[in-house]
A and B are shown apart, each in its own frame.
Chain A
Amino acid sequence: MKNIFFFIISLTTVLIIAVSCNQSSNKNTEPKATDPISNSETQNLSSTQNDTSNSVVPIDTTAKKVEQQDVQNFSIAPIVKDYLALKNALVADNDKAAASAGKQLFSTLKNVDMKAIPANKYKEYVEIAENAKENAEHIGDNAGKIDHQREHLASLSKDVSDLIVLFGTTPKLYQDYCPMYNEGKGAIWISEAKEIKNPYYGKKMLTCGSVKKEL
């Protein structure tokens, strides 16, 4: 009886400590964040600090050079490639292939090297890519529900089109438009060929649509 009593006390004590530790660690992070700001404001820059900052400069420029190379190398080609595979699966009314293409696209987007994106396009890229990831994920999770996959294709196609406008593309691509989709509200898709092959209706209405612009 006594042992059980001590057991309950010790268990609850452990839990209380665990809970309060969790809450206090949240409080601790706040003052730490303000510390570097207060340090820079107190202008106690010693000469030794100036010396070290000078010696750091050569390292900085080489780091910058590498960054610029990364930035020049950033390409949305893998994203476009995966999108086209997805689009073509839906042209072929193949929901399973579309789902695996969706998973592939999601993975490609997740593995993008964020450091390689030029700073002036970073914010816009993130906004588009976050949305594209959600769309790709949903398409990946919805094998057997091709209508739902096609709804997400409409949103995804806008994302990819905006990415192409933002970053450019080497192979020529076409922005096609289907006026009937979504109860007449219409939808676009990106195609690698000029020939119209509608991913929203598949073989039901394969040639419905027109080239809106060349990218």
Chain B
Amino acid sequence: MVLFIFIAIQFYQPSPNVDKGQVYTTDFTQVNKMPVEVKAMFQNSCYDCHSNNTNYAWYDYVQPTRILVENHIKNAKEDLNFNEWGTYSNRKQERLINSIKEQIETKQMPLSSYTLMHKKAILNDEQIKTLTNWLKEQQ
């Protein structure tokens, strides 16, 4: 019975968060000049949830994981979408720079449930320092 339900729920697949390589002039990495390694860190550790393009792995499509992943993405984009950075007011950008710094420093971001499956996204202490130093310069 459980197996049948499991198979049945696989049929619910909401439209994926992909943008087919669209370039955004309002993107965080376009609006702000940053060293190459800083840009790579943001893209590898943050952009899967906090942008319009997610690099899905095969297991992301398996329910109920799929629904949980989409929920994460939806909430993440509501709080901060790096692609839309240029549309944010200065006020909002200032607040977010501070929040991003705080979240990375305290290792609340990237989410441990995400880095569990995405080893490439893990930020080591040195990377955290690089990012937070760059963020402090933006304040």
Bound CA span A84–B86, Å: 32
Bound CA span A16–B11, Å: 7
If A15-B12, A138-B99, A151-B102 touch, whether A8 touches B91 (CB-CB below 8 Å) is: no
Q: Which residue of B lies closest to A7 (CB)?
A: B4
Verify if A96 is at the interface (C-beta below 8 Å from B).
no
Bound CA span A173–B30, Å: 40
Bound CA span A154–B98, Å: 10
**Partner of A155 from B9, B11, B15, B98 at Cβ < 8 Å:** B98
Interface majority SS (helix, strand, loop, mixed), chain A: helix
Q: How many residues of A contact B (CB 8 A)?
A: 27
Contact A15 B4 (CB under 8 A): no
Bound CA span A138–B94, Å: 15
Verify if B8 is at the interface (C-beta below 8 Å from A).
yes
Encode contact with A along B1-45: 1 for CB under 8 Å, 0 otherwise: 000100111011101000000000000000000000000000000
B130: min CB distance to chain A, Å: 17
Question: Which residues of A, 29-44, contact B by the 8 Å Cβ criterion?
Answer: none
Question: Which residues of A, 103-153, contact B by the 8 Å Cβ criterion?
Answer: 127-128, 130-131, 134-135, 138, 148, 151-152
Residues of B within 8 A of A23 (CB): 15
Verify if B95 is at the interface (C-beta below 8 Å from A).
yes
Question: Which residues of B, 53-98, contact A by the 8 Å Cβ criterion?
Answer: 89, 91-92, 94-95, 98
Contact B89 A155 (CB under 8 A): no
If A151-B98, A183-B136 touch, whether A131 touches B91 (CB-CB below 8 Å) is: yes
Q: Which residue of B lies closest to A16 (CB)?
A: B11
If A148-B102, A151-B102, A185-B139 touch, whether A134 touches B95 (CB-CB below 8 Å) is: yes
Contact A19 B8 (CB under 8 A): no
Contact B7 A8 (CB under 8 A): yes
Verify if A59 is at the interface (C-beta below 8 Å from B).
no
Residues of A within 8 A of B91 (CB): 127-128, 131, 155, 158-159
Q: Which residue of A lies closest to B92 (CB)?
A: A131
Contact B95 A8 (CB under 8 A): no
Verify if A12 is at the interface (C-beta below 8 Å from B).
yes
Contact A19 B12 (CB under 8 A): yes
Residues of B within 8 A of A4 (CB): 4
Verify if A169 is at the interface (C-beta below 8 Å from B).
no
The 3 closest A-B pairs by CB, nearest first: A155-B95, A15-B11, A11-B8
Q: Please, could you name 15 A-B residue pairs with CB atoms under 8 Å apart, sorted by A?
A: A7-B4, A11-B4, A11-B8, A15-B12, A16-B11, A19-B11, A19-B13, A134-B95, A135-B95, A138-B99, A152-B95, A155-B94, A155-B98, A159-B91, A183-B136
By a beta-carbon cutoff of 8 Å, the part of chain B in contact with chain A is 4, 7-9, 11-13, 15, 89, 91-92, 94-95, 98-99, 102, 136, 139
